[in-house]
Homo-oligomer: A and B are copies of this chain.
């Protein structure tokens, strides 16, 4: 295992404009690859937009397009993996999903948001049936969850117990929840000794204003990179040896009283 540089794209995106978002993704992938990043993480529902003026009908129409083909082509062209926030159309309805496209453009795994938030999520999506997604990539074990999922300590704990080095979190965190972006994600990293990449929307959509404040946090809660508002790429190196050292320094995972947890 070796250190792996990852990148996160914070952006307002172009709500409802898939081609515009593909162009943004292509540009970000080029920049991240040039910097040496091997994985690029987008915000939640990046490719279509999330809180669209046209609501469920607009999103359903966008989700019917081939979204993963062109996104996979961007991954392949730039030779880096992409964790892509996008809707997934299924016979039973839409899911708020994240797709891990490897550097060949293949979908290595797909995760469906498990904890739906408020009227927006419940009005658009069905809930996923897995607590987190999981992919092995360049010697890293990467757990995937989306936005509200990470606010539940149960999610990240389960990922850490499953051996995750990195929890990758496409998100669309809106006002007034700055506490989550600035504080809670650091607590999740600390209490589980995992890297955590929290990659947010910025700007506004139909009814939501996002808080930006994306960050990549180390297992000791150190903020490796972060941004306030604005479109930006953030970077962090994920090193399995650092995870192992953090787990020796703070042995929460072995000191758990499983016999007492319901």
Contact = CB atoms under 8 A, between A and B. Distances in A.
- Contact residue range for chain A? 20 to 34
A130 B154 CA distance: 20
A191 interface: yes
Contact of A221 (B154, B158, B179, B261): B179
Interface in A148-179: 148, 151-154, 157-158, 179
Interface string A122-156: 00000101110000000000000000100111100
B148 A157 contact: no
Contacts of A252: 151-152
Interface stretch (A3-11, A39-47, A181-189): A181-189
Given A115-B255, A191-B153, A261 B186 contact: no
B260 A114 contact: yes
B261 A131 contact: yes
Which of A127, A153, A221 has the most chain B CB atoms closer than 10 A to its own CB? A153
Contacts of A1: none
B255 A191 contact: no
A123 to B, nearest CB: 15
Nearest to A157: B153
Contacts of A261: 131, 154, 158
A60 B105 CA distance: 65
Interface string A247-260: 00000100111001
B260 A129 contact: yes
A190 interface: yes
A34 interface: no
Nearest to A153: B153
26 contacts: A114-B260, A115-B255, A115-B256, A115-B257, A116-B255, A127-B257, A129-B260, A130-B260, A131-B257, A131-B260, A148-B255, A151-B191, A152-B257, A153-B153, A153-B154, A153-B157, A153-B191, A154-B157, A158-B262, A179-B186, A179-B220, A183-B186, A183-B221, A184-B187, A187-B187, A187-B188
Interface of A: 114-117, 127, 129-131, 148, 151-154, 157-158, 179, 183-184, 186-188, 190-191, 220-221, 252, 255-257, 260-262
